[in-house]
Amino acid sequence: MCALVHAINQAVAFVKQRSVKMTRAEVIEFRRIADEIYNLAERSELIDILPGVPRSRNNSDNTAVPFESRLHLPGDWFDLDGNGTYWFVPARLPRWFAKMETLRMIAVLQPDDEDSVRQSS
């Protein structure tokens, strides 16, 4: 399995396990995975397929949707417990998951790094 597909699967599983809220440490870990995906997608010339930034929260509001990482995971930071500890709360996940699945399906069609090394030998 290509490294990009593996990284996409890892990111999707990570978000699914934390779809309600994430700690700062979890967001930092997600950013690490997102950077890996970004770099692998760039090398495979798939950078344009990465999830983009939605333009607004809804049709009547021009406020940009906050996001985290190079994978543009939509959501925002909230003090859910009222004690000054902020949590990242993901939003619009169905759209984000669909975009990640599209990237994954296209990445599956890409030659593995090992395959390209064997072909060039």
Question: Rounded CA gap, 78 and 45, in Å?
Answer: 36
86, 77 contact by CB (below 8 A): yes
* pLDDT of 58 strictly over 60: no
Dihedral Cα 23, 5, 43, 37, nearest 10 deg:
0
Q: Please list, residue by residue across 5-29, b when 16 or more beta carbons sit within 10 angstroms of its beta carbon and e when fewer do.
A: bebbeebbebbeebeeebeeebbee
Q: For residue 65, name the pLDDT band (cuts at 50, 70, 90).
A: low
Q: What is the pLDDT of residue 56?
A: 43
DSSP 80-112: SSSSS--EEEE--HHHHHHHHHHHHHHHHTSPP
Full-prediction pTM beyond 0.85?
no
More confident residue, 45 or 30: 30
Q: Which residue has the tokens 């090398």?
A: 43
Structure tokens at 68: 């985290």
- CB neighbourhood size of 108 (10 A): 12
The DSSP 8-state label assigned to residue 70 in this structure reads: T
Q: What is the pLDDT of residue 114?
A: 52
